[in-house]
Structure 1
Amino acid sequence: MDSVSRRLLKELRAYEKESRAHPEILELSPETDDDLLVWRAKLAGLPETPYEGGVFDLSITIPRNYPIQPPTIRFITTICHPNVHFKTGEICLDILKTEWSPAWTLQSTILAISLLLSNPEPSSPLNCDAANLLRCDDRLAYDSLVRMYTQLYAVPFEGEKDD
């Protein structure tokens, strides 16, 4: 077993042991049993944010030289956020680019993404429309827009079972 696989299995065990400590992460695991380099995460929208009630799917692709290089993480669920590309789900977050450190884990990175949802950075937008609402200090319009997209794309139907 190579060092990347060992590291990822260690991270998976740590997440499974600590998962109750971070209720915003609903799921974090390899997509299949035979490929440790492709993971999925489910993130719950935090209470008292316009994402509340939403469940957001993320795809995680891990490079072969992880943890030296950061994973590629993107939203699969359509989400309205200044730092998330509306069509591709790409996330603008410094730890996924220039500020990555091998000290970060997949779990801590997903927690940072959760924190980004409630603390957008409109000065480095991938979604200019959402960022402009914040730059114009129109929090009411921003929250309404985010809530609308959360209800349209991220709220499970009544009776829908999660995988």
Structure 2
Amino acid sequence: NSDNLFRWSAHLRGPRDTPYENYYFELRIHITKRYPLEPPRIYFVTKIFHPNIHYRTGEICLDILKSEWSPIWTIESTCRAIISLMEIPAEDSPLNCDAGNLLRAEDTLGFTSLARMYTLDFARKDPPDLSDGVVIKSYLS
């Protein structure tokens, strides 16, 4: 099926010194027919407590996936930008208001505790093939 060329999955390892560390998170990637002129649609499959990721839909609020997209971005570099967002959330554009409010109130203990609890409940332990932090596969592979 030629549609499979446009549907990918990625597994991102949670960055060090974050509540996501040592666990991996699955993303779904839909490559549009206009890629690389327009961004891929990427969302989290794994539930995650993060201010810039919608809890139910997995939508990611990241400027390069919207208005700041450039054909220079590859799928891998985009995934690495998502890892950076996991490490340094943008408090000014929350999709998860509860997570955003905790960070804006400087309640880092509350945020970290909830994010770690969600990580333990929904993410998986780091598989051995994620040594560099990103694994991307087409549905054909």
Normalised to the residue count of structure 1, the TM-score between the two structures is 0.74
Give the aligned partner of residue 74 of structure 2: 105
User: 2:22 & 2:124 partners in 1: Cα distance?
Assistant: 6
Q: CA deviation at 1:143?
A: 0.5
Q: 1:139 aligns with which of 77, 101, 108?
A: 108
Give the aligned partner of residue 54 of structure 2: 85
- Count of residues in correspondence between the two structures: 126
Give the aligned partner of residue 9 of structure 1: none
Q: Does 1:40 align with 2:9?
A: yes
User: 2:95 & 2:105 partners in 1: Cα distance?
Assistant: 17
Give the aligned partner of residue 69 of structure 1: 38
Letter of the 1:70 counterpart:
P
**Aligned alpha-carbon RMSD (Å):** 1.6
SS at match of 1:98: coil
Please identify the structure whose Cα radius of gyration is greater. 1
Question: Larger relative contact order (C-alpha < 8 A, sep ≥ 6)?
Answer: 2
Give the aligned partner of residue 28 of structure 2: 59
User: 2:32 & 2:15 partners in 1: Cα distance?
Assistant: 29
Identity of aligned residues (%): 54
Q: CA deviation at 1:131?
A: 0.3
Give the aligned partner of residue 131 of structure 2: none
User: 1:38 & 1:155 partners in 2: Cα distance?
Assistant: 22
SS at match of 1:39: strand
> Structure 1 residues 33, 48: closer, same or farther in 2, change over 3 A?
farther
Normalised to the residue count of structure 2, the TM-score between the two structures is 0.85
